[in-house]
């Protein structure tokens, strides 16, 4: 079953619902959004579309008016991912695209640390996040003070910080990494020992891919830590021929059950290349919907773990964000200067 698309957070929707007058499902709206619906018809039902289409049209019109671009993470629901986003991708790709956009306004459809990264790379642009409360359990697991304490406890050991952290944490580290370049980043120092924080499981995975000794922290992703090896074994038994692909934020015993481990973009590319008959993507649930749109011959088996933070971003909130230019993301300049260096070092690593 595809995941629900329109606002989960109904209490907030009521408070922030934008101008209703523009949101009727008129014949013009139906005509203008027909091609988009054809694209997503495998994952959005015809009954849902009349509630979605007016938002899609209003958002796409407002983007033009404001010279705005929507950057959407792979975990956004398909109405956002396929119908209003200009650029989609994993954390690394979104950071790179944020660095090169010439739009005046960036609307970040993802979580807060992603919006901060876009702001770091575009200090003079307006960066909006449709819901400031879209956080991340990894980003919350560590503070700048914790990083300073690690620096003191491990003098001379380079500190690599996963992008899933606040700008303040990034400002205390030597370089950032994402799940798609973490091995390359830890090896870039040419030293025997590196701190890779705050995701314990990503660090453990990277340690299996390199000779560099990896020290870490006890942060976990609340979505990926819920998967279990038992659950995956049960799916394999019930679904003959099933291929399992997993995100490195999963615990090690879960990754041991997987045929492939990679970032969200890595997982998407794996499906495109291998064209499996049946696949289970061990990651946030909406990604299977998004990938299913372009993989008509693949059956997606899904234990549906949703990220409550990513799911705060909805079409009504994106529209409200563009109508009222809110919520704007700011990063204090002293922090931004150092955090920007850490992100840019990562982006500028030779591929």
Residues within the interface to ligand SF4 (CB under 6 A): 111, 136-138, 164, 221-223, 249, 284, 307, 309-310
- Give the span between the Cα atoms of 167 and 341, in whole angstroms: 11
264 binds, among ligand SF4, ligand 13P, none (CB under 5 to 8 A by kind): ligand 13P
Q: Which of 33, 166, 263, 290 binds ligand 13P (CB under 6 A)?
A: 263
Q: How far is the CB of 305 from ligand SF4 (least distance, A)?
A: 8
Nearer to ligand SF4, 179 or 321 (CB): 179
257 binds ligand 13P (CB under 6 A): no
- Give the span between the Cα atoms of 13 and 121, in whole angstroms: 30
178 binds, among ligand 13P, ligand SF4, none (CB under 5 to 8 A by kind): ligand 13P
90 binds ligand 13P (CB under 6 A): yes
Q: How far is the CB of 37 from ligand 13P (least distance, A)?
A: 27
137 binds ligand 13P (CB under 6 A): no
Annotated binding site for iminosuccinate: 73, 91, 162-164, 179, 247-249, 264
311 binds, among ligand 13P, ligand SF4, none (CB under 5 to 8 A by kind): none
179 binds, among ligand SF4, ligand 13P, none (CB under 5 to 8 A by kind): ligand 13P
- Give the span between the Cα atoms of 288 and 262, in whole angstroms: 15
List of long-range contacts for 121-129, beta carbons under 8 Å, 24+ apart: 121/95, 121/340, 121/343, 121/344, 122/98, 123/336, 123/340, 125/101, 126/325, 126/328, 127/328, 127/329, 128/321, 128/322, 128/325, 128/326, 128/327, 128/328, 128/329, 129/313, 129/321, 129/327, 129/329
137 binds, among ligand 13P, ligand SF4, none (CB under 5 to 8 A by kind): ligand SF4
Nearer to ligand SF4, 54 or 110 (CB): 110
Q: Which of 131, 249, 289, 320 binds ligand 13P (CB under 6 A)?
A: 249
122 binds ligand 13P (CB under 6 A): no
Q: How many CB atoms lie within 10 A of CB 263?
A: 23
Backbone angles phi, psi at 279, to 5 degrees: -140, 145
- Give the span between the Cα atoms of 78 and 113, in whole angstroms: 21
**Which 208-237 residues touch ligand 13P, going by CB under 6 A?**
221
Annotated binding site for [4Fe-4S] cluster: 136, 221, 307
Supply 103's token pair.
């739009």
Number of residues that bind ligand 13P (CB under 6 A): 11
Strand order in the sheet with 243-246: 260-261, 243-246, 278-282, 299-300
Give how far Cα 151 sits from Cα of 94, 146, 158, 172, 216, Å. Answer: 29, 9, 8, 9, 12
Q: How far is the CB of 136 from ligand SF4 (least distance, A)?
A: 3
Backbone angles phi, psi at 41, to 5 degrees: -65, -20
> Which residues in this chain contact ligand 13P in the complex, by CB under 6 A?
74, 90-91, 164, 178-179, 221, 247, 249, 263-264
């Amino acid at each position: 079953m595809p995941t629900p698309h329109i606002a989960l957070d109904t209490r907030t929707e009521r408070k922030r619902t934008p101008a209703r007058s523009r949101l009727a499902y008129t014949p013009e709206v139906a005509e203008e959004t027909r091609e988009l619906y054809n694209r997503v018809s495998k994952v959005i039902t015809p009954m849902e579309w009349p509630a979605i289409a007016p938002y899609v049209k209003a958002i796409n019109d407002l983007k033009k008016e404001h010279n705005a671009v929507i950057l959407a993470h792979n975990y956004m629901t398909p109405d956002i991912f396929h119908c209003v986003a200009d650029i989609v991708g994993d954390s690394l790709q979104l950071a790179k695209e944020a660095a090169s956009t010439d739009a005046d306004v960036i609307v970040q459809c993802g979580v807060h640390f992603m919006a901060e990264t876009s702001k770091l790379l575009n200090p003079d642009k307006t960066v909006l996040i449709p819901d400031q409360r879209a956080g991340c359990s990894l980003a919350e697991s560590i503070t700048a003070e914790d990083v300073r304490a690690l620096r003191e406890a491990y003098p001379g050991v380079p500190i690599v910080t996963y992008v899933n952290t606040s700008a303040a944490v990034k400002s205390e580290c030597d370089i950032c990494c994402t799940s798609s370049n973490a091995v390359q980043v830890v090896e870039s120092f040419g030293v025997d020992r590196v701190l890779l924080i705050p995701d314990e499981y990503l660090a453990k995975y990277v340690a299996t891919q390199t000779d560099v000794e990896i020290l870490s922290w006890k942060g976990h992703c609340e979505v990926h830590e819920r998967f279990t090896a038992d659950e995956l074994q049960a799916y394999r038994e019930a679904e003959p021929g099933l291929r399992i692909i997993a995100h490195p934020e999963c615990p090690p015993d879960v990754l041991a059950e997987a045929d492939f481990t990679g970032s969200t973009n890595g997982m998407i590319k794996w499906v495109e290349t291998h064209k499996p008959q049946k696949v289970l993507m061990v990651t946030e649930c909406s990604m299977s919907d998004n990938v299913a749109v372009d993989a008509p011959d693949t059956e997606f088996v899904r234990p549906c773990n949703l990220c409550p933070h990513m799911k705060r971003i909805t079409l009504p909130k994106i529209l409200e964000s563009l109508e009222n230019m809110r919520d704007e993301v700011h990063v204090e300049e002293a922090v931004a200067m150092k955090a920007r260096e850490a992100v840019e070092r990562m982006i500028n690593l030779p591929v």
